[in-house]
Structure 1
Amino acid sequence: MGPALGRLKILLRPVQNYNVEERAFKVISKTKPTQAPPHPKMQSIMDEIKQDPTLLSKGKLDPKTMDNLSKVFLSSKGDNPVIETRRKLPRERKGWDGYEYGYEEPDKIPQGKASMRQVLDILNAYETKPSINTPEKLAAEYNLNLQDVQNLLKYFKPFQVYIPKKEKKEKVGPLKLLQQKMDQVKE
């Protein structure tokens, strides 16, 4: 494919370079676009400057003032106070590579809640031995509400993929549409 494109570029180069100078002069001779009107606030400032040109010199730095400022020195006395922050920085600095589920698992889980690992353990325990690991026993073991555990076992299916069936639609061409319209008119 590479050599073919190279040959194609060689063949197209004369076409691309045809009338280059005239096209370049045409682009250069174009008038520049007009500038957008300034904002009304900016327009009022520009009008003030046109009326009183000394306003521009007021904005510039005075050399005498700058010379005086260069002579000013600041020295602090006393110890620097230690500023204690209310919020401490995190002490643990781990990378994100080692997380099994893509996020850091919490150290403490409130009662009535479950982590992703615990949910998968509950599902695994119930799937392996449902007669021994009943929803009541799992709810007591993980400090969860019985209704939540039952809903979890019934509805939460992390490893099942649902793919809806695709309905095959009959392709309708212009002749088929015309035939359908004719049939409707006849009825």
Structure 2
Amino acid sequence: MGKAFSMISNPFRNFNVESRAHKIISQPKPIPAPRHEKDEADLQRLIKEFPKVYQDSLKKNEQLDKHLKEVFVTSREPNVNIKQEYNLNRPLPMDRTNVGPFLYGVKEPENIPIGKTTLGKVMELITKHQSDPKAYNSKRVSEELAIPGETAKNILKYVRVFEVYIPQERETKAKFAGPSLPKVQVLKQLRKQLPPPNPKEKEKT
């Protein structure tokens, strides 16, 4: 159905197509789309209040056109063969290999100012304090980390290292906590006696 419809409509669509194309191309200015009512009202108000500004906007500004023609951009690519000078004050990294994961997630600084410390040293001394509190007290921690004594006390008081407790395996098997009565019971008293079999019924079978 679509093919038959296109065969019928194509001659009408292509009728005088060259003349219509020349007519559209020869138009000096394309017809703009109709404006909204509010935009049209604003434009009419602008024409009425500022007629000179509106007329100037329709004319070509020769001075501005001259300035635009004088503006140009030149692109110059750097010479890749020229090596940049090496600055000793700002040396570039020579090792470009990938850095592996750090122990605590961040790289610890090499130079530590007085009164500061690193996470690794703190964790090490806290672990020693938990294993031997008398030997590694707050005074010794303060001396080794070069931090105030009050800060060392607060660290040992409020910070702990996680400990893993593995329970020992049981040597004896656990007893069943169910009923202690045996499943099979022997009845000593006779409850019901079955009658002897009938010989006639036995002969029939």
Q: TM-score, normalised by structure 2?
A: 0.39
Q: TM-score, normalization: structure 1?
A: 0.42
